[in-house]
Chain A
């Protein structure tokens, strides 16, 4: 491990794959990345000439669901990614080495491929108590992360943990779990949110980086535009039901059986940026809405703290109350209505009593001649 100077092309030729299959792979990848007609030859050229990119895959506070998703990638197969396309020098979940041997690889990669390796981070560092809530190899994870990021070409933040904070950063966030881009500020950080992200999205991002040697175009939030520029809602196959006003009202009603829109059941599709409704999951088999459950918005910032997954209107937790915008608004409007009525009553009483004080109101009083 570590000494990766072979190109992708050399590796697959050695594995007995024909040039014809290689070119087919390049065309398919170019198509899936949405590149133009020149894309395939660019990819082929890059894979023939560039040495494989070393990737260090670190794990912070996380559940390994990103890795679980990643190893199920179908296009391209994760076998091809891990064994041929990249040089996955360090991934404590997948690697054979352990202990001091594994730790040595980190140091070796840092020296040997200074400024050239990609640091992929799954999970995030907790900053509270000097990072003591996540100890990795005898040291706080945050120290290791900063050290490895120092010499990396770019940092990939896998999943909602690394991108936004996810469940460990949900209120009250006792360990002060912090997203990667708030810790690593001097390197480009590419966010690939989702809990977990879609496997094809993960391998697609990796393929793009190693092919072109640069990060894909990112949106305002630092997510790759090619996978996160549209909401689930924009490409949802149930969208016609939304426009028609056909909604599921109960989980067991006729509308649910007919596959109507899950908007009223709290589907977060309209506010969630991800590729689920186009790429789908497990090789394009299905995605949550297709299996009859609304989107929970797992690739969005702080999705754990937005109240129930099954309510359309977000639960607002301020001032120790728990209500949605309608309950708060109607309560305030009601209170203001009562206040107005009270004010009007006081005004009336005051005017009646003033009229008694000044019985002669024939333009002779000093007031405006109206209320007195």
Chain B
């Protein structure tokens, strides 16, 4: 038996052992599936949503020969309702999943360490501290961002369903359940405008989200992008702080 066969762990070609690093399984399969389904649906919703506000050039010929705008709206309605179904599934998942799956639905506002961590993370983004802290789930700043985004998603889903209910009629269950949006905004046009502004808010969220994920993946002390693919969070050092 050669010497090398007895050495355990990952080796390079010269036989030198690699450092072993700590990994934690954070994002379970349903969470990761939800994340990527959401990403696809949101892209489809933004594109079709923009087109519903500013339709493509007029189709020529007989009206009976085309259903172009109808299909655009159909995709939007389909994706919107799929988004809601996945959101509801995601909302009940914390009953079965690990403790990190609850994180996006509440904020530990009474926890002083959490507030301190948020401030520290903010300083990290303002280049005021040298290194960020290590977190298994979302860091406190990301935690706030995700929780806010969930609240915002609830508004988008409620306003979307309310407007969908308008087309189905006032006797539909959609109108009965989500019609309260018209008590808040008596003119449906206002709701349309806010829903449309919401699309741009999502665009901004996506930009910041992707930038932060890439930046953290490169600079922080833990993995980001591979974590939402494999579910495992890798910590790059074993330093105590």
Contact = CB atoms under 8 A, between A and B. Distances in A.
Contacts of B204: 332-333, 336
A367 interface: yes
B169 A244 contact: no
A271 B207 CA distance: 32
Contact of B215 (A249, A333, A344): A344
Contact of A369 (B59, B72, B236): B236
B207 A337 contact: yes
Contacts of B56: 245
A255 B183 CA distance: 37
A25 interface: no
Interface in B6-65: 19, 50, 53-60, 63-65
Interface in B181-208: 182-183, 186-190, 192-193, 196-197, 199-201, 203-204, 207-208
B54 A368 contact: no
A306 to B, nearest CB: 6
Interface stretch (A83-91, A109-117, A143-151, A226-234): A226-234
B166 interface: yes
A340 B55 contact: no
Contacts of B112: none
Contact of B58 (A249, A337, A340): A249
Contacts of A220: 179, 182-183
Interface stretch (A182-190, A201-209, A322-330): A322-330
Contacts of B201: 329
B1 interface: no
A330 B189 contact: no
B237 A328 contact: no
A7 B169 CA distance: 38
B53 A300 contact: no
A370 B221 contact: yes
Interface residues of A, number: 61
Contacts of B66: 244-246
Interface in A215-233: 219-221, 225, 229-231
A325 B193 contact: yes
Interface in A276-307: 297, 300-303, 306
B239 A326 contact: no
B113 interface: no
A312 interface: yes
A331 to B, nearest CB: 9
Contacts of A272: 188
A337 B208 CA distance: 8
Interface in A144-180: 164
A268 B207 CA distance: 33
Interface residues of B, number: 55
B64 A271 contact: no
Nearest to B200: A329
Interface string A350-372: 11000000000001001111110
Given A244-B63, A330-B200, A346-B127, A314 B189 contact: yes
A313 B195 CA distance: 11
Contacts of A368: 131, 220-221, 236-237, 239
B153 to A, nearest CB: 17
B187 A303 contact: yes
B208 A325 contact: no
Give the interface centre of B193, B208, B220, B236 by most chain A CB atoms within 10 Å: B193
A247 B50 CA distance: 16
A370 B219 contact: yes
Contact of A340 (B60, B130, B187, B207): B207
Nearest to A369: B237
Contacts of A300: 186-189
A242 interface: yes
Given A240-B63, A244-B70, A329 B187 contact: no
A58 B11 CA distance: 93
Contacts of B188: 231, 270-273, 300
A337 B182 CA distance: 34
A252 interface: no
B58 A247 contact: yes
A244 B65 contact: yes
Interface of A: 164, 219-221, 225, 229-231, 234, 240-249, 255, 260, 263-264, 268, 270-273, 297, 300-303, 306, 312-314, 316, 325-326, 328-330, 332-333, 336-337, 340, 343-344, 346-347, 350-351, 363, 366-371
5 contacts: A240-B64, A245-B59, A303-B187, A325-B199, A326-B50
Given A229-B170, A330-B200, 13 more contacts: A164-B186, A242-B69, A244-B63, A244-B65, A244-B70, A255-B58, A300-B187, A300-B188, A312-B53, A326-B200, A329-B199, A329-B201, A344-B211
For the complex of A and B, the 6 pairs showing the least CB-CB separation, nearest first, are A329-B200, A245-B68, A245-B69, A243-B70, A244-B66, A271-B188
